[in-house]
Amino acid sequence: MHRWDAQSVTGGPEPIGADLAADGVLEYCQRMLRRWDDRVWSGPAGVLRLAADDTGGQWLVRLDPVPALVPAAVAEPLATVHGAASDLDLWLWRRAGAVLVDGDRAAAEAFLGWADLD
């Protein structure tokens, strides 16, 4: 992420390598979501699926009451955010990731806004 940030200041940043970016998505879901476990989710209850089109990686985030990574969904996700692993990682960190949202776009945007990156 730091390399991408530096490149974005000096010109055109290159995508993050697919495997490294997939690890970044997993790290965000495993470590960063726990960082905000004192914040109550006020958006719609359900599951958000993050899907890396290039690696086949999928991460399911439960959105009730404190978002957390879950191993399997018991119901259809509210929304699926998908794109290249690099774009997913960039999207999670509020960079310019070119992702597509299938389903409830408002739920995906609420999830992104829920995390406090300050």
Residue 40: give the domain boundaries: 15-114
In a domain, 97, yes or no: yes
Judge whether 6 lies within some domain: no
Q: Each residue's pLDDT tens digit in the chain (118 positions)?
A: 555 455 455 677 666 788 988 998 999 888 887 766 677 788 888 999 999 999 999 999 998 887 888 887 777 899 999 999 999 998 998 887 689 999 999 999 998 888 766 5
Q: Where are the beta strands (DSSP E) in the chain?
A: 47-52, 58-62, 68-70, 79-83, 100-103
Closest to 81 (Cα-Cα) out of 110, 38, 117: 110
- Its pTM stands at 0.84
What is the tally of structural domains in the chain? 1
